[in-house]
Amino acid sequence: MCIEPFNFNGLDCECSFGYLLDGNECVDILFLLKYLNQTDNQLERQLMNNVTQLNQQLMQSWQQAEENLKRNTSNLQNIIMQQNIQIQKQIDSVNQSLLLYILVQQHCNLGMCKMIFRE
């Protein structure tokens, strides 16, 4: 003799229609579907929350990377400008020395070296 929700199938007890055998128990399929649907909804909400959090973290990381890139670019531009100023000063100094050398050389070619170095 089988006790509800089991039915006797002639050889053994089996779950009645609308029930599913789970180990030694018959589980109401509608209850199981509701439970699975609730679990599915919870997992979907949790997944959406995780996706939202990851998107926020990604946006924050992206913004931070953009800010770092801007700051680094600005720093590099400043360094390059300072180096260009130093190079220009060195070029100006070399040009002055070269101009002075050319002037002295021209005077020496004219026979005036003794006058320049005497003064």
pTM above 0.85, yes or no: no
The per-residue pLDDT for range 14-69, each reduced to its tens digit, is 777 777 777 777 778 888 888 888 888 999 999 999 999 999 999 999 999 999 99
| pLDDT tens sequence across 83-99 | 999 999 999 999 999 99
CB atoms within 10 A of CB 26: 20
Q: Which amino acid is at 84?
A: N
The Cα 30–Cα 87 span in angstroms is 83
Closest CA to 82 of 69, 71, 93, 90: 90
